[in-house]
Structure 1
Amino acid sequence: MSDQLKILILEDVRFDVELIERELKNADLDFTFRNIFKKEEYIKALDEFKPDIILSDHSMPQFNSVEALSIFKEKELNIPFILVTGAVSEEFAVRMLKEGADDYILKGNLMRLPSAILGALKQKHTERERIEAIEELKRSEEHFRSLIENATDIINILDAKLNFTFASPSISRILGYSPDEIIYKNICDFIHPDDFQACLVEFKKELSETERDYAITYKFRHKDGRYLDIESTGKAYFDDNGKKSFIINSRDITDRRKIEQKLKYKIKELDTLIYMYSHDLKGPFCSLQGFVNIAKMEVKDETALKFIKMFENTTKKLDAILMNLVQITMINRESIKIETIDFNEVLNEALQRFESLQEYKDITITTTVNILNHFKSDPKLIRLILENLI
């Protein structure tokens, strides 16, 4: 609607038009109007003048307000239609209101016309906003429905008792069930017994807490009886009725788990291989170190001793690398043992290993530890990290 109100007046009596115009001006309404009383002009004005409101007398030479209202409804115009006429029966006025007129004003009471116009315009504006909001909601619902229906993951909603209240169509492709087959069933009936307790604990946490994201993995029974590895993420929320529900996004990770198991097996094989090779190399290194010690005692030539010393340093470095490999493979082969660690103590143990080495004799090491409290980790792993850093 433009700032200036556009009024279409259906009235064949010029004096009545002037009365209406005067009454609206007295009310300080900013408006422009067009006066017609023929059917063809009315239809044309609706298309060209595009009024914001229609004021219609009932009886005119060529047509009446009933016909005018009928044409108005056919064009599906969302603007007010007010009947402004002389004396009419109450039954007729009620019928016109039921047919779609927004109000009726008797010509003998035109003082009420400005407020009726403003009220009808406000009502139509509110109605338009409501319709637009509904349309926007429908578009949003269609958009999200499309997202859910075409999602590759499964989207489920559970009630507080862990019964399915919604399942996306993708559940058929992944787990074999149609949404109707799983609605109102309890999720616990499908979880593998080995994972049941852990899942139940997680869901109970969600019931007692709000706005907490969760992620769990478990085995879920496929319709054909086999169990698939499922990873679920989601959170609890309160629905429109104030009841707590869970929205869950789930995906099949069975293939990923198989790949992870294969990788773990390959890594274990590699660790074993490194461990074996490192032990196989340990013997020759010990022999080399023995030969170096004998050479140092037997050889007197200064130049030869210089090269023997260089060879000795190289074998020590290789031996250190070999020891690190052995330690790393041992850590990978063993489970990590978490315990309380005194970082100063672990650091001093790492430094002591280097104190006996000749190349570190002239190096001054200063340490400053700002860790006031003990912390928890695997001491072997921390010591290895420190030794490699040094």
Structure 2
Amino acid sequence: MERITRAERLEQELAQSEARLRESEDRYRQMFEKNRAIKLLIAPESGQIIDANPAACEFYGYPRAEFQTKNIKEINTLSAAEVDAEMARAAGEQRAYFVFRHRLASGAVRDVEVYSSPIEAGGRCLLYSIINDITERKQAEQALRSNVQLFRTLVENAEDLITIFNRDWTIRYESPAVEKMLGFKPSELRGRHLLETVHPCDRRAILRAMKYKTEHPGELVPVKGRIRHKDGSYRILEGRSVNLLENPAVGGIVANTRDVTERERAEAALRESEEKFRLIVETTNEWIWSMDREGRSIYDNPAVEMLLGYSPDELRGRDMSELMHEEDRRMMEQQLPAFFAAKRGWTGLICRYRHKDGSYRYLESNAAPVLDARGELAGYRGADRDVTDRVRAQQALSEKEEQLRQAQKMEAIGQLAGGV
């Protein structure tokens, strides 16, 4: 009776074990067959593919029956020896994660990551491999690396200076342009505070700009100031900066500046020259003028009021021929087309201009053409001076000479008559 009971118990335990085994196999089969992850079973000693789940068949493009005739070495782009070495590492549990390039049935090659570990199946050791397609990720990573390299190349070869400041305005990064611009190697400025290099007279303005930039993230802010060169001189830097402290890729305040010292000096010299010219023009006794090609006044210096009684504002936009004596205006109307056609000016041209009081003044004119960007005549600039006294003196002298000639003529006639 006891033997029967023991046998029944053994049968029950065996049945339970078989049920658990079937349940485990079914669970494994469900995980293998119905999982969307790409899975392969591989014999590590040969590389023969024992089985492939439907997701693998779909990814690689092989029917399941054909897949089971394939060797992993036909799919992996590594050499056979390299594949054997990697399978040995996986089988020996020395390594479980791999990145390979696998060839599909279509001939396309995809980047894959493989998680592979040994399992016991049917009394033999197999590699249970889970494969993920990472082609797009690898391409994105490569694109990112290319962009980073491009950015680095641009920054390191740019004429402009790229600076990144920490939140406390200490220098975290300087591009190589700093050495050419300020004489310092990038490492010599790293960790130093911005204000250490700013000209004392510019610090207040720079402090205001620093405060504004800190309070307005993401906004491009103009920046300009004198920065000390390594030789002790100061260079004028100009550019823009932006607060990217909250940008995780940057985490700093980025400034893009260029050296405008020579430009500033040239502009200052030009302003000085223009000021000298303005003083000369505004204090000279000659009438300095500019007109368009229609003869309308564009500019007249203050001397015109002394010469003709009109203020510059009264003449602006006015046809200057209106002030000419009618005889002289007709003469100019005949001569100007030739001047215009040849794009040339004139010298020593004397015309009578009507004064505001109604009288006429003789003005001697010198003018040069003004050409536009296309080389076309845009107008004239010139300088006129009052020669009324000289002309009248010449006229008086001419009259006296004429009177003298007449007198001499009459005297000669008288002598001739007396001799008869």
When the two structures are superposed, what TM-score results if normalisation uses the length of structure 2? 0.48
Alpha-carbon separation, structure 2, partners of 1:35 and 1:249: 61
Deviation track 1:18-53 (CA, whole Å, cap 9, x = no partner) reads: xx56x857998662436679xxxx6xx84xx4469x
Alignment match, 2:208:
201
Distance change in 2, residues 1:73/1:211 (3 Å): farther
Contact persistence 1:166–1:179 (CA under 8 A): yes
Higher relative contact order (CA 8 A, sep 6+): 1
The answer on 1:249 being equivalent to 2:256 is yes
Query: Aligned-pair distance for 1:230?
Result: 1.3
Gaps of 5+ in 1: 55-66, 84-90, 288-304, 317-390
Equivalent of 1:223 in 202, 223, 230: 230
Deviation string 1:345-385 (CA, Å, 9 cap, x unpaired) is xxxxxxxxxxxxxxxxxxxxxxxxxxxxxxxxxxxxxxxxx
Answer yes or no: is 1:94 the counterpart of 2:104: no
User: Aligned partners of 1:51 and 1:280: how far apart in 2?
Assistant: 93
- In structure 2, relative to structure 1, the CA distance for the partners of 1:271 and 1:187 (3 Å cut) is same
Q: Distance in 2 between matches of 1:173 and 1:28?
A: 61
Matched, 1:271 2:275: no
How far 1:258 moved relative to its partner? Answer: 1.0
What residue number does 1:180 align with? Answer: 187
* Structure 2 SS opposite 1:223: coil
Structure 1 residues 28 and 231: alpha-carbon distance in aligned structure 2, compared to 1, 3 A threshold = closer
SS at match of 1:271: helix
SS of the residue 1:218 aligns to: strand
Correspondence for 1:166: 173
Residue type matched to 1:71 in 2? E
**Equivalent runs, 1:354-373 vs 2, <5 Å:** none
2:309 touches 2:355 (CA, 8 Å); kept in 1? Answer: no
SS, match of residue 94 in structure 1: coil
Residue 133 of structure 1, CA deviation: 3.5
1:194 CA displacement: 0.9
| 1:132 to partner: Cα distance | 3.6
Deviations 1:61-80 (CA, angstroms, capped at 9, x unpaired) = xxxxxx97x53177x9xxxx
SS at match of 1:102: strand
Mapped pair 1:31 → 2:41: no
Counterpart in the other structure of 1:121: 131
Aligned partner of 1:337 in structure 2 is none
Q: How many Å separate the matches in 1 of 2:266 and 2:280?
A: 21
CA distance in 2: counterparts of 1:247 and 1:25, whole angstroms: 52
Asked if 2 retains the 8 angstrom alpha-carbon contact of 1:8 and 1:51, the reply is no
Which structure has the highest helix share of the two?
A: 1
Instruction: Label 1:202 to 1:24 Cα distance change in 2 as closer, same or farther (>3 A).
Output: closer
Alignment of 1:285 onto 2:308:
yes
Map of 2:405 onto structure 1: none
Instruction: Please state how far the C-alpha of 1:134 moved relative to its aligned partner.
Output: 3.3
- Aligned partners of 2:226 and 2:237 also within 8 Å: yes
Letter of the 1:285 counterpart: L
Q: Deviations over 1:228-263 (max 9, x none)?
A: 111131111125669962100111111001110111
Alignment of 1:1-390 (within 5 A): 20=50, 24=53, 31-32=62-63, 33=66, 46=73, 49-50=74-75, 71-72=82-83, 94-95=93-94, 97=96, 102-108=116-122, 120-122=130-132, 125-126=133-134, 128-239=135-246, 245-275=252-282, 276=284, 277-278=286-287, 279-286=302-309, 315=355
- What is the distance in 1 between the residues matched to 2:44 and 2:220? 67
Counterparts of 2:188 and 2:233, CA distance in 1: 17
Q: Is the 8 A contact 2:163 2:254 kept in 1?
A: yes
* Distance in 2 separating the partners of 1:312 and 1:146: 70
Taking the aligned partners of 2:243 and 2:179, their CA distance within structure 1 comes to 24
Query: 3-state DSSP class of the match of 1:234?
Result: strand
The CA deviation string for residues 112-169 of structure 1, in whole angstroms up to 9 with x for no partner, is: 99xx66xx222xx14x444444333322222111111101011101112211110011
CA distance in 2, matches of 1:248, 1:217: 11
CA distance in 2, matches of 1:141, 1:28: 37
Cα distance in 1 for residues equivalent to 2:192 and 2:274: 42
User: Share of identical aligned residues, percent?
Assistant: 20
Instruction: Give the alignment's TM-score, normalised by structure 1.
Output: 0.51
When the two chains are superposed, the root-mean-square deviation of aligned CA atoms in Å is 4.9
Would the alpha carbon gap of residues 50 and 195 (structure 1) be closer, same or farther in structure 2, given more than 3 Å must change? same
Distance across 1 between alignment mates of 2:158 and 2:217: 26
Question: Does the Cα contact within 8 Å between 1:190 and 1:220 map onto a contact in 2?
Answer: yes
Give the superposition deviation at 1:313.
8.7
Relative distance call for 1:270 and 1:188 in structure 2 (3 A) is same
Distance 2:197 2:238 in 1: 14
In structure 1, how many angstroms separate the alpha carbons of the residues matched to 2:265 and 2:57? 80
Greater CA drift, 129-138 or 212-221: 129-138
